[in-house]
């Protein structure tokens, strides 16, 4: 395949993945704004967090886990399985069930067990059985609307998690880190689009004057930029 033939890209990319990649900064902004408006109780005393998700819906949890690893003082894990670990129980445990479709069997299993054990519980989804269960049981539901493959909703899957953690006081407000990450991605888009000749592909770090002072910010920045360009840089020259 000729990687400089953008017409061929359009023929093969029937799900519009290039468009989703190009729109990631806008998706991140929309997710952060949504995360400031959605309902969330002022829970106190949480000292452990588990994100239940599979496949594309768990990618955002992995990025958040990497971002907070150096400064979060209690366990934060990504759970890709049925049920829950034994240490997740009671009001000190926050369980976030993340399923793009809302019908992921493993995530629904973890959701049911978290409810039975009296955990603090939030669901992130576009709908499906997970949304229906939240509405029926009066649980906290963060529902968003984005039509794509689950992996293409990486902005929502990542940023909504950050918004939950920040609003509960589990982490400091990441708004400034997020602003820098979005600015960096947008600044590089012209060089990284599919229409750009391969010989000029280049990933640049932000200018020294715009770099975050706190080293933890680089984890998020690196992860989010990588989410945009990984598809491009994995293709042999």
Angle at 218 between CA 79 and CA 52, to 5 degrees: 10
Structure tokens at 137: 């049981």
Helix (H) or strand (E) segment spanning residue 63: helix 56-68
- pLDDT at position 70: 87
Q: Which residues contact 128 (CB under 8 A, 6 or more apart)?
A: 99, 101, 102, 103
The residue with greater pLDDT, 84 or 198, is: 84
Give the model's confidence band at 19: pLDDT under 50 very low, under 70 low, under 90 confident, else very high: confident
Contact 57, 78 (CB under 8 A): no
All CATH 3.40.50.10490 domain ranges of the chain, comma separated, are 24-173
Model's pTM, two decimal places?
0.82
Q: Which residues contact 207 (CB under 8 A, 6 or more apart)?
A: none
pLDDT tens digits for 91-122? Answer: 999 999 999 999 999 999 999 999 999 999 99
- pLDDT at position 191: 76
Among candidate residues 6, 99, 92, the one with its CA nearest the CA of residue 44: 92
Measure the CA–CA gap between 61 and 53, rounded to whole angstroms: 8
141-157 average pLDDT score: 94
Going from the C-alpha of 30 to that of each of 117, 122, 136, 176, the distances in angstroms are: 33, 19, 27, 15
Among candidate residues 235, 234, 223, the one with its CA nearest the CA of residue 184: 223
pLDDT tens digits for 38-94? Answer: 999 999 999 999 999 999 899 999 999 999 988 888 889 999 999 999 999 999 999
Topology (CATH) of 24-173: Rossmann fold (3.40.50)
pLDDT tens digits for 163-174? Answer: 999 999 999 999
């Amino acid at each position: 395949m000729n990687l400089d033939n953008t017409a061929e890209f359009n023929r093969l990319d029937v799900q519009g993945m290039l468009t989703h990649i190009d729109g990631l900064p806008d998706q991140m902004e929309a997710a952060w704004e949504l995360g400031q408006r959605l309902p969330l109780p002022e829970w106190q005393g949480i000292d452990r967090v588990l994100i239940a998700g599979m496949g594309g819906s768990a990618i955002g949890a992995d990025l958040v886990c990497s971002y907070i690893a150096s400064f979060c003082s209690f366990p934060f894990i990504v759970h890709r399985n049925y049920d829950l670990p034994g240490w997740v129980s009671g009001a000190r445990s926050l369980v976030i069930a993340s399923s793009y479709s809302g019908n992921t069997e493993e995530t629904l299993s973890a959701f049911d067990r978290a409810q039975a054990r009296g955990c603090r519980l939030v669901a992130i989804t576009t709908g499906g059985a997970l949304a229906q269960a939240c509405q029926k049981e009066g649980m906290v539901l963060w529902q968003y609307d984005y039509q794509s493959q689950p992996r293409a909703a990486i902005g929502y899957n990542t940023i909504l998690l950050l918004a939950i953690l920040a609003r509960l006081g589990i982490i400091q407000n990441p708004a400034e880190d997020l602003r820098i990450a979005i600015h960096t991605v947008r600044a590089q888009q012209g060089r990284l689009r599919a229409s750009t000749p391969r010989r000029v592909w280049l990933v640049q770090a932000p200018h020294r004057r715009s770099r975050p002072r706190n080293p933890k910010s680089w984890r998020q920045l690196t992860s989010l930029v990588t989410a945009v360009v990984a598809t491009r840089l994995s293709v042999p020259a």
